[in-house]
Amino acid sequence: MGYYNQGYQRRRKNQWLTPLLLGIIIGILIVSVVIPELVESNIIPQSQDEPGRGTNFENNNSPITNTSVSVDVSTQITDIVEKVTPAVVGVTNMQRQSDYWFEQGSVEAGTGSGVIYKVTDGTAYVVTNHHVIEGADSVEVVLYDDTHIEAEVIGSDLFSDLAVIRMDADDIGEPIEIGQSGNIKVGEPAIAIGNPLGLMFSSSVTQGVISGTERTIPQDFDLDGRPDWQAEVIQTDAAINPGNSGGALINIYGQLIGINSMKINEAAVEGLGFAIPIDYAIPVMNELEEKGVVERPFLGVELYSLDEIPHREWKDTLNLPEKVTGGVYIWSVQPLSPADEAGLKRLDVITELDGEPIENVIDLRKILYQEKNIGDNMAITYYRDGKKFETEAALTAQ
């Protein structure tokens, strides 16, 4: 057996030695004779590693070139932002500060954003939020180039959360273009511009989409835990932070479609920002510009929703029949007011206005503020001591 192995090894050695020598000889011939001939005949391209024999890329039409590439990063969004940014300003709320002995002058009480929407006769008009300028003794507008301009509050409105201020237009460029919010669609691009967290981040731009239209958000103005109003807003996931209030929400064409107003600020919530629709804001802005206030019809009662008191009080105190499922009860009536003239009294329960059911205070205010005008007559259905009555009030200015 050992012999077989030794003989096998010797036979293998004799078999591979001869082909190896032949391969080496043939390889030498190919390298030294055949390849140079093929190169000279241009069948094989010359090596560019060999000096003097490489491909001349400057003289030949080679697809590989050694030229620099210039990239234009300008897009529709960057062009729009560049155009719109000068119309978005910072608004500083200045309030006088004093101690027991003397007044210490004005100090900055807060900052927000605003939008230049009109320039005429040497005056520029800026729209912002009511809560941005609330309590201000004076306001200062800061332009995108850090120019500071003293401004004057013409008027503001709590329910719409809008305010209009004006200033000298010498350093002001073009106002923003006004768009429409009634035809916006969910999913279309939205861009927010403002000053989040103060002027150090002025002219910040965030991009998102329209997340929802005609949203209603409850508002608690007196912080008593009960909603006093429901704001109708546009929902967007473009980041809106403190300081963005009063800034611009624009569409892909650079048109103003909303005034940024609020966000849901909870740990489990992300991307819920809201803006006042421009279609709703424009009439309020015009009235503030002309009159300084928004005049609304006045009824002259202090009201509370029935759902704010225990159900047993509906029967024991208000004597309401079981078929009444909602309404508002009167806590007080202002003397000589439309409600007083109409014969309404304390603890009367209003259930309908002009035939429309009233479930709570918000329902009543919406009809009164959005459907009625000063000087209109309004039919009121109410219950007193378990009996149903109807009366009519002639609405006056608040």
Question: Looking at the domain assignment, is residue 239 inside a domain?
Answer: yes
In the prediction, which pLDDT does 19 show? Answer: 64
- CATH number of the CATH domain containing 96: 2.40.10.10
pLDDT class for 183, splitting at 50, 70, 90?
Answer: very high
Amino acid in the structure at residue 200: M
Residue 146 scores a pLDDT above 70: yes
Q: How far apart are CA 364 and CA 328, in angstroms?
A: 8
Boundary (domain end) residue, out of 117, 139, 168 = 168
Q: Give the count of domains, the chain.
A: 4
Question: Looking at the domain assignment, is residue 196 inside a domain?
Answer: yes
- Same domain for 276 and 309, yes or no, is no
Q: pLDDT tens for residues 330-343? A: 999 999 999 999 99
φ, ψ for residue 327, nearest 5 deg = 155, -170
pLDDT class for 270, splitting at 50, 70, 90?
Answer: confident
The whole domain housing 236 covers 180-282
In the prediction, which pLDDT does 53 show? Answer: 43
Q: How many helices (H) and strands (E) does the chain have?
A: 8, 21
- Considering only residues 231 and 2, tell me which one the structure prediction assigns the higher pLDDT: 231
pTM for the complete prediction?
0.74
Mean pLDDT within 117-126 = 95
Question: Looking at the domain assignment, is residue 238 inside a domain?
Answer: yes
Q: How far apart are CA 82 and CA 95, in angstroms?
A: 33
Question: Looking at the domain assignment, is residue 359 inside a domain?
Answer: yes
- Nearest Cα neighbor of 116 from 81, 90, 82 is 90
Q: How far apart are CA 241 and CA 208, in angstroms?
A: 14
Q: How far apart are CA 203 and CA 186, in angstroms?
A: 25
- Nearest Cα neighbor of 237 from 209, 196, 197, 276 is 209
- Same domain for 156 and 222, yes or no, is no
- Same domain for 217 and 274, yes or no, is yes
Amino acid in the structure at residue 61: N
- Same domain for 268 and 317, yes or no, is no
In the prediction, which pLDDT does 222 show? Answer: 80
Which stretch of DSSP H or E encloses residue 92? strand 88-98
Which stretch of DSSP H or E encloses residue 111? strand 103-120
Residue 54 scores a pLDDT above 70: no
Mean pLDDT within 263-284 = 84
- Same domain for 184 and 263, yes or no, is yes
Q: How far apart are CA 259 and CA 232, in angstroms?
A: 12
Which positions are annotated as active-site residues?
131, 161, 245
- Same domain for 191 and 105, yes or no, is no
- Nearest Cα neighbor of 212 from 193, 187, 191 is 187
Largest pairwise CA distance in the chain: 134
Q: pLDDT tens for residues 293-350? A: 999 999 999 999 999 899 899 989 999 999 999 999 999 999 999 999 999 999 999 9
Residue in the block written with tokens 């300081």: 243
- Considering only residues 398 and 238, tell me which one the structure prediction assigns the higher pLDDT: 238
- Nearest Cα neighbor of 123 from 83, 150, 156, 162 is 150
Q: Supply 81's token pair.
A: 């932002």
Q: How far apart are CA 65 and CA 174, in angstroms?
A: 46
